[in-house]
Amino acid sequence: MQISVTGHHVEVTDALREYIHKKMDRIVRHFDQLMDVHYVISVEKLRHKAEATLKVRGGDIHADAEDANMYAAIDALADKLDRLVKKRKEKITDHHAEEGRRARQ
């Protein structure tokens, strides 16, 4: 899995990069089939925005979050991504369980 971080109107420091990697560890624990992750962090006046696109088998997962603090925006984004990844995993699991039930009948 490759994680790329870019910044618009903000310099991506090592501390921000490490914080993003730490938050991604939680998401990878729930869903290990991630191929590529692209983060974009930006600052517009007093709004700090974090966006992420996860490339997974079967499609992409995209989420974004805004806050007055960049670290809070990254936290909110990680929470959203975690929910979306769990939802994707449940859909895959439920789908395969349904196929097994049909095959037994």
Percent of the chain with pLDDT over 70: 89
Give the model confidence (pLDDT) of 29-42 as tens digits. Answer: 877 778 899 999 99
pTM of the model: 0.82
CATH number of the domain to which 81 belongs:
3.30.160.100
Question: Which of the two residues, 10 and 32, has the higher pLDDT score?
Answer: 10
Strand order in the sheet with 59-67: 2-8, 34-44, 47-56, 59-67
What tokens does 40 get? 């974009």
Q: Is the dihedral of CA 76, 78, 81, 87 positive or negative?
A: negative
Residue 58 pLDDT grade (very low, low, confident, very high; cuts 50, 70, 90) = confident
* DSSP per position, 74-100: HHHHHHHHHHHHHHHHHHHHHHHHHHH
Task: Quote the number of domains for the chain.
Answer: 1
Residue 93: give the domain boundaries.
2-104
